Structure 1
Amino acid sequence: MSRSGRLIQAAAVAAAASLALAACGGGSGGEGDGNGDGDASGDLELITAGTLTVCSEVPYPPFEIEDTSAPSGYSGFDIDLVQAIADSLDLELVVQDVGFDAIQGGTAYASGQCDMGASAITITEDRQANLDFSEPYYDSLQSLLVAADSGITGIADLAGQPVAVQATTTGEAYAQENAPDAELISYPGDAEMWPALQGGTVVAILQDLPVNVTHAQEDPNYVIVEEYDTEESYGFAFGKDTNPNLIAAVNGALATMRDDGSYQELYDSYFSAEG
């Protein structure tokens, strides 16, 4: 079983318990039943009634991809997962393409741009000071992607070399700590880092493994030379202390998907090739 599968099973117990408490909370807390019926009475406090508005930075394959054939105009593991959650809650899904800093920093929720964030967001103590998170839904590693003929075999070879990292991410933090002699160049996202590597502006990209796997699979001229286990788990993000009913509803939908096998089916469709 993958690390993700073990974490998801463990989190299912907590998610189910959270949902059960929400379902029983019909007192002064006004929590309703934590599902689509709760939204009908306004319990989910959505920005737009009947619509789940999600902020995500696109592209970030395989998690976020522009896709005109999808109902929301986007697909990818994160988007397909929140689409299934929205469907289970009888809500329309609307995806807003927003910079990652606003999503992980909390301003996207405070300004009313979205109800939740879905953008491969690692749950960290620093972020929990400004955000609430759903139960974890994915485990990830960091990795180093380089040109196959670069001669770079690992992070120790990066001293004095220009390396792409995404600003305000755990990948950037890992590179700052473990490659202090590299010339780290912070980019807004993968959409800028990948062309920088292809064009020779940088010699490597240090970021989440699944994204680098996608690039290596699509272009054999690039290879992943190292993976780093940083014990990262992704969660969906929400404004701090603003919508516990929506969090309970999302956790409940995730628990149902784990129980009925639809989560594993979606996971396998994107990540089974990773081994």
Structure 2
Amino acid sequence: MKRKWFWTTMLAGLFAIMTWGMPREQVQAAETYTIGTDVTFAPFEFADKHNQYVGIDIDLLNAIAATEGFKVEWKPVGFNAAVQSLEAGQVDGVMAGMSITPERQAKFAMSDPYYQSGIAMAVARDATIKGLKDLRGKRVAVKTGTASADFANANKAKYGFTTVTFDDSNNVYQDVTTGNSQACFEDFPVMQYGIATGVALRVTNKTPYAANNYGIAVLQSHRQDLLVKINAGLKKLRANGQYDKIVAKYLGDGSQASQAAKTKKTQEGDRSFWGLLQANRATLWAGLVQTLELTVVGILCATVVGILVGLLGVVPNKVAQGVATTFIYIFRGLPMIVLALFIYTGVPGLIHTKIPAFVAGIITLTLNEGAYTAAFVKGGIGSVDGGQMEAARSLGLPWTKAMRRVILPQGLRIMIPSFINQFIITLKDTSILSVLGLLELTQTGKIIIARNMEGFKIWTMVALIYLVIITLLTWLSNYIQKKVR
């Protein structure tokens, strides 16, 4: 009777929680739109020194939302990932300096143009390159999925240069300043802003190549609601002068490198290593906390899955062994970045349900790290002398009890160092999840660099943080191994 009462209460509580949450989600879905963006694309979107997202795109859409009565939830996943997320229905729209092209208009609903841009070619300050004709035999850096990359690829055969592609603007600029590439193509206002804030490059063309218009891409299913609101709000902001104020805030009159950008550079304060560390310590700490959360939750889930699959691999059953072998083969063989993007942008298109980035990250870690864990669990159990199982069975113990009482205690002693090492590997692998827009340590570093263009110093900080944590975990691993011996 008590058991029946317990289960009745549990089911009633669960039902109450579910029914209480449903109306909130429905109201939020009707009023809030998730917009994918690339916060390494200053001055259109970037994070300020307080780690708040600002820029022309951010301010403009926030103003449109305030005018038209809806809310915006920004999703900083990078340009390429943002477009893929929109295709998968993970976000409702993308605003990231996206050029309006026939291909994008065929796939997405595009807003009215909100900014006219074009392509700039930039080279090192002391380079002798003056124009496109001087690029023959040279290497040119571009950013993946952008109009500037399309322009470069369309003209490389004509002018005889090769291209190399990066995922963010800072790496594009760094490849030129370090001499690996001799030029880069970037959106004209973005390149001007970058130079004004410290990028050691110069623009070769006075007028932009391939003039184009920026627009906001939304899902076709939102054409009648979100797109109508965006276009209406944009029209109102142009009429009341608020649009011009937003653009002028970041680009001045648009013809020269922005005075606002120069002021921003001055306000950054001490740009020495310690000065930047002091200014960004809160942001780096937040990224570290996210990294540790992903690592701990990921390793716990991967350990459970790995042990279960590893045990399946030693069960005296061919089907169970086949399942374990297949699991290990697939998820240990897939590159982790491919698995992450498949789960985050591919699976939602099949199940027609959004998967939060954190959940997608944990699933990725669970499957990938779980496969490696299963392999060494299977190997650890297999390394125990076969005579141990025979002896246990001869004493009348069933297989499960013999495994639990005799084999596993010996196998675990062998596996413990591998568990610690897998924890270290998982910690490092969380950096790959930055492609999902998770604000872990690596993504945090990218966002900081997009603001101050101090790539070497910021990556040094990130590397030192990883090294400190990995060193502590290595000491722990060595200590445990000594205790086990």
Q: TM > 0.5 between the two?
A: yes
Query: CA deviation digits over 1:128-149, x for unaligned, max 9?
Result: 1111111100000101111110
After superposition, where does 1:54-65 map in structure 2 within 5 Å? Answer: 54-65=35-46
- Once the two structures are TM-superposed, the CA of residue 199 in structure 1 deviates from its matched residue by 2.2
Contact 2:248 2:254 in 1 (8 A): no
- Once the two structures are TM-superposed, the CA of residue 97 in structure 1 deviates from its matched residue by 1.2
- Once the two structures are TM-superposed, the CA of residue 273 in structure 1 deviates from its matched residue by 4.5
Residue matched to 2:182:
203
Residue matched to 1:234:
214
Identical aligned residues as a percent: 28
Identify which range, 247-256 or 90-99, moves more after superposition.
90-99
Contact 1:54 1:95 in 2 (8 A): yes
Contact 1:52 1:86 in 2 (8 A): no
CA distance in 2, matches of 1:223, 1:46: 50
TM-score, scaled to structure 2: 0.44
CA distance in 2, matches of 1:228, 1:110: 30
Aligned residues: 228
Contact 1:155 1:179 in 2 (8 A): no
Contact 1:78 1:119 in 2 (8 A): yes
CA distance in 1, matches of 2:27, 2:178: 43
- Once the two structures are TM-superposed, the CA of residue 49 in structure 1 deviates from its matched residue by 4.0
Contact 1:47 1:112 in 2 (8 A): no
- Once the two structures are TM-superposed, the CA of residue 233 in structure 1 deviates from its matched residue by 0.4
Letter in 2 for 1:89: E
Residue matched to 2:415:
none
After superposition, where does 1:208-219 map in structure 2 within 5 Å? Answer: 208-219=187-198
Alignment root-mean-square deviation, CA: 2.3
Letter in 1 for 2:250: Y
**Aligned equivalent of 2:56, options 70, 77, 91:** 77
Contact 1:56 1:100 in 2 (8 A): yes
- Once the two structures are TM-superposed, the CA of residue 93 in structure 1 deviates from its matched residue by 2.6
Residue matched to 1:185:
164
- Once the two structures are TM-superposed, the CA of residue 50 in structure 1 deviates from its matched residue by 3.1
Letter in 1 for 2:37: S
Contact 2:177 2:200 in 1 (8 A): no
Helix, strand or coil for the counterpart of 2:136?
coil
After superposition, where does 1:38-187 map in structure 2 within 5 Å? Answer: 48-67=29-48, 69=50, 73-104=52-83, 107-180=84-157, 181-187=160-166
- Once the two structures are TM-superposed, the CA of residue 100 in structure 1 deviates from its matched residue by 1.8
Q: Residues 157, 120 of structure 1: CA spacing in aligned structure 2 closer, same or farther, 3 A cutoff?
A: same
Q: Residues 110, 48 of structure 1: CA spacing in aligned structure 2 closer, same or farther, 3 A cutoff?
A: farther
Query: CA deviation digits over 1:190-214, x for unaligned, max 9?
Result: 1321222222221211111011101
Letter in 1 for 2:188: L
Helix, strand or coil for the counterpart of 1:129?
helix
Q: Residues 187, 46 of structure 1: CA spacing in aligned structure 2 closer, same or farther, 3 A cutoff?
A: farther
Contact 1:61 1:214 in 2 (8 A): yes
Moved over 4 A (4+): none
Q: Which structure ranks higher in relative contact order (CA pairs < 8 Å, sequence separation ≥ 6)?
A: 1
Residue matched to 1:15:
none
Letter in 1 for 2:56: F
TM-score, scaled to structure 1: 0.76
Structure with the largest fraction of helix: 2
Structure 1 unmatched ranges of 5 or more: 1-41
Helix, strand or coil for the counterpart of 2:245?
helix
Structure with the largest fraction of strand: 1
Q: Residues 68, 92 of structure 1: CA spacing in aligned structure 2 closer, same or farther, 3 A cutoff?
A: farther
Query: CA deviation digits over 1:23-66, x for unaligned, max 9?
Result: xxxxxxxxxxxxxxxxxxx9xx9973432321001210111111
Helix, strand or coil for the counterpart of 2:179?
coil
Contact 1:46 1:115 in 2 (8 A): no
Contact 2:193 2:251 in 1 (8 A): no
CA distance in 2, matches of 1:68, 1:221: 21
Letter in 1 for 2:46: I
**Aligned equivalent of 1:270, options 236, 247, 250:** 250
CA distance in 2, matches of 1:103, 1:252: 24
Does residue 1:260 correspond to 2:240, yes or no? yes
Structure label with greater radius of gyration: 2
Contact 1:156 1:179 in 2 (8 A): no
- Once the two structures are TM-superposed, the CA of residue 189 in structure 1 deviates from its matched residue by 2.3
Helix, strand or coil for the counterpart of 1:244?
coil
**Aligned equivalent of 2:173, options 182, 194, 200:** 194
CA distance in 2, matches of 1:241, 1:52: 13
- Once the two structures are TM-superposed, the CA of residue 69 in structure 1 deviates from its matched residue by 4.0
Does residue 1:249 correspond to 2:229, yes or no? yes
Letter in 2 for 1:91: F
